[in-house]
Amino acid sequence: MAASLTSAEEWLRPLDRARTALFTRALRVAPLRSVLVEKKRRVPALLLLHAAVALVLSVLAPTLLLVAGPLLLGVPHLLSDVRYLVLRPSLPRRARAWLLGGAAMLLALRVAELFGAASLLRYELPLCALWVTGSALLGTRRIRDPRLIVIASLAIAFAGVAVLAPSTVRLVMAHAHNVIAVAIWALAFCAARGRALAVAGVLGGAVLALLATPLAWLGFKHGLVQCLGLHSFLAAEQLAPFVRSTPLALGVVASFAFLQSVHYAVWLHAIPQEATRGEGTLSFRMSCRALQNELGRWGSLLALLVVVAVPVLGLVSPLRTQSVYLSLATFHGYLELGALSLWWLNRRTS
């Protein structure tokens, strides 16, 4: 088992060499050097670069992002989610156990659904509300904190709406959780708060451009309308079922693909870099060693197997694998809500 993890590090060595060579060449260019040397400039700049590429692809090939993104980056971003929200922060032991237990419970519900117990899903959203509220309660320093009352009230309202319109709530959460990741980075991790808010503003502008202009429609007419078994019209039915205007529905698809890609970049680049001490960057092998230290050998081996298995299964049945992954990964949106609540409760007020 240890040999398997060592082999994984050896496989990552060429990637680290390529990464080092790329950074070395970039640092020779004065304008790039001024950006890359300091973390407060480097992280937002690289995130915006990723967003620019994602914007182009979300216009010309949104279905490629919607299918290939989860298959390639879905599991690694879930691991980052759990590591930086649960395992690394100095949370009370009970709060950490509650977060992990709730994630396991929601994952079990989705696994049961795959095996025919779909009726259990009616409990999912109320349990999510209870999970987020309990996370905040176990993590707060003062039980009479008015912010705790706000969180509990919102969770109760969420549970009530979820009972009346569960499909609508799930759809709203699917869209919203991409934005929640950006909020977590900007508010809880990024030291250069002004730069983070500026990046968030740029991302918001890109989403408005996709929704309010004919960009997505032009991309549909001249770009890739179907990829890996997913057609843009099918994606529109799934992501924008209440939208009657075809151009607007395609805009919703493009904006979701864009924000989903940014969401992955936040968890795989921005937050890990912000959480690293000093101005240095994380190599692939450093990330692999950190994962082993935090998950243990068995947990790291299991994570490695899943990281490899999902793309391999995606080669056989990409759309089915993507659908199963998205179903099983539902828990992490509520984990992010719980973490954001904890950050707010533990934030010092003047």
Specify if 118 maps to a domain.
yes
More confident residue, 105 or 280: 105
SS3 per residue for the chain: CHHHHHHHHHHHHHHHHHHHHHHHHHHCCHHHHHHHCCHHHHHHHHHHHHHHHHHHHHHHCHHHHHHHHHHHHHHHHHHHHHHHHHHCCCCCHHHHHHHHHHHHHHHHHHHHHHCCCHHHHHHHHHHHHHHHHHHHHHHCCCCCCHHHHHHHHHHHHHHHHHHHCHHHHHHHHHHHHHHHHHHHHHHHHCCCHHHHHHHHHHHHHHHHHHHHCCHHHHHHHHCCCEECCEEHHHHHHHHCCCCCCHHHHHHHHHHHHHHHHHHHHHHHHHHHHHCCCCCCCCCHHHHHHHHHHHHHHHHHHHHHHHHHHHHHHHHHCHHHHHHHHHHHCCHHHHHHHHHHHHHHHHCCCC
Domain contains 333: yes
Tally of structural domains, the chain: 1
Q: Is 146 within a domain?
A: yes
pLDDT grade for 309, boundaries at 50, 70 and 90: very high
pLDDT tens digit string along 93-130? 888 888 899 999 999 999 999 888 888 888 899 999 99
Asked whether residue 94 is assigned to any structural domain, the reply reads yes
Average pLDDT over residues 202-213: 92
309 assigned to some structural domain: yes
In a domain, 32, yes or no: no
On whether residue 15 sits in a domain, the answer given is no
pLDDT of residue 8: 63
